[in-house]
Structures are given as structure tokens and as C-alpha cells.
Amino acid sequence: MVVGSVALDSVFTPFGETADALGGSAVHFSVAGSLLSKVKVVGVIGSDYPVKELERLASRGIDWSGVERVDGESFRWKGKYSYDLQSRETLETRLGVFATFRPKLPESWRDTPYLFLGNIDPELQLSVLEQVRRPKLVVCDTMNYWIQGKRPELMKLLERVDVLLVNDGEARELSGNWNIHKAGRWILERGPKLVVIKQGEYGALLMDPSRTFYVPAYPLEEVFDPTGAGDAFAGGFMGYLARVDSVAPEQMRRAMVYGSAMGSFAVEGFDIRGFDGVDFDAVQRRVKAFVDLTHVPAAEPLP
């Protein structure tokens, strides 16, 4: 189950642009996660949302029945990427119906074992967490907008999640440490047992207090739109863990590879189109490519 933004995105990259396209953390997460597990979504949309487009995605195994429809404007986000796609500027964030949203989980959803608190107001993330009974794993994401605007609420939430999954810029901003390893340690001292730090085309780290594991990014020759890569990573990470129904350390490492694979699909197209034509077999092939990319044959004794 995921709670997060269900948005209309307008994105500008050096390679093209979109206007009011399907987006939001919950949408990107679900499109990726549903390739591995069924996904339930908690969120809200306004009267202007293209509901038919969401309904089309339901056939992939996404249950939108926890997304309320209310009068008003949907969440809108506008962003612009630099030429190398490494940095982005938020041009506009309009919360719309999310500003007054108070999530209420259907009774049968309260026993959900795998919960992803996608990027949205930490107060909403906390409210969903409080309605779930003893989940097996709670993973949380956030973003500069909330780190700056709702820090006390975010810090309270951190005490109660198992894994924080953020990008390097967010880890630096949250902790005040430029060094990514120090930033990770700072986060681990504030509640989460694990932290995942994504570094775009440089891969992603999984840290616990004693060890760090690293997965590279898939070497792509064409990248169109990085929007949603982080949420797709989370979808792969959680979708895998829910599918194998385990949070064992070795499964966490495999989940990192599924996360990286999903992130690599996400950036190959605008909005959610990077996933067009991607099925379970395509995911497995990309995961295998990661194994080939990183496998080191057992060493012979040196002469």
C-alpha cells in the first residue's frame, strides 16, 4: 500500500516537455510496483483529474479505490531539468485538494503488511501510518519541499519508520552533512534501521549502522525524463519485498537491484511512458543485466 501524491505534472527537459501529465509519487510508485505485486493506493484527486487514465492502469493490478475524488483542483507540480539532467528546479507546487486531505483507510486495508509512505505532507504520512496495524515494513520518502516546510513533523515520522529512502540532495539537506555517508549515519541515529540514498546515474546505497551496500545505475544511452525515478525505485524495492514476503538482509539487497531496474525504466520516457511495454519478463531481464554488470568471478589465488 502506498500513500502519496496523485498529480498532474508539467515537466521541461532539454529533450522535450509535458503539460498536466499523469504523475505524483503514488502514481510512479504504483506503475513500477505493480510489475511485482498488487498495489493499493491512498490519495486524493480533484474534479479536473483524468480518471479514465487512472482506470486504464487498474488492469496492471493497481487498486485506486482508496483515492478519494473531491471538488477542487488536483495536486500540480511543475519542474525544469538542467542540460545534464542532474539537477532540477521546482517551478511550482500547487497542493490543491491535498491541502485539506484527511486520509481514512478502509477497514480491510488496515492490515496491510508492506507500507510505503510516498513523498507527501509528513502529517498525511503519519496519519496513514497510525491507521495501519503492525505492518511488517514501513518505508518512507520525502523531498526538499517538506524538509524545509515541515521539519518537526518529518522528524517525528522518522522515529517510526523502518527505512528512509531519499536522494543524495535530500539526505544532505535533512542532515546538514555534505558527506553522504555522514548524512546516512545521521539519519540512522534518528529512527530508521536502514537508509537508502539514491544518487541518480551514480547508483544507490543501502546503509545500516555497520555496513553499506551499493548498486550502480543501469548504463543507459538515452534518458528522457528523470521525474519519478525515485518513486519507481521505491516501487521496485517494495514490490519485490512484498512479493517474496521477507525483510531479510539478503532480500533487502536484492530489492535494491529491483529498485534500480525500475528507476532505469522510469527515465526512458516522459511521465509514466518509460514503462510502456515493460512486463515481468522485461524486469527480470534487466535485473539479470545488473548481475552481469556487477558480478566478480571468484578470485584464483594470485601467482
Binding segment for ligand AMP among 45-53, 103-111, 221-229, 286-294 (CB under 6 A)? 221-229
Residue with smaller CB distance to ligand AMP, 148 or 284: 148
Say how far residue 153 (Cα) sits from the centre of its chain. 20
Give me the least distance between CB of 88 and ligand AMP, in Å please.
Answer: 8
Contacts of 247 (CB under 8 A, 6+ apart): 136, 137, 162, 241
d(CA 161, CA 144): 19
Restricting to residues 49-78, name those near ligand AMP by CB under 6 A. Answer: 77
33 binds ligand AMP (CB under 6 A): no
Q: 7-13 and 16-23: which strand pairing?
A: antiparallel
Binding segment for ligand AMP among 174-182, 201-209, 227-235, 236-244 (CB under 6 A)? 227-235
d(CA 48, CA 229): 25
Give me the least distance between CB of 6 and ligand AMP, in Å please.
Answer: 9
Cell of 83: 542540460
x/- string (CB under 6 A) for ligand AMP, residues 103-142? ----------------xx----------------------
x/- string (CB under 6 A) for ligand AMP, residues 270-289? --------------------
φ/ψ region of 111 (left if φ > 0, alpha if ψ in -120 to 50, else beta) reads alpha
- Name the helix (H) or strand (E) containing 17: strand 16-23
* Interacting residue ranges for ligand AMP, rule: CB under 6 A: 5, 7, 9, 23-25, 28, 77, 93, 119-120, 143, 145, 227-231
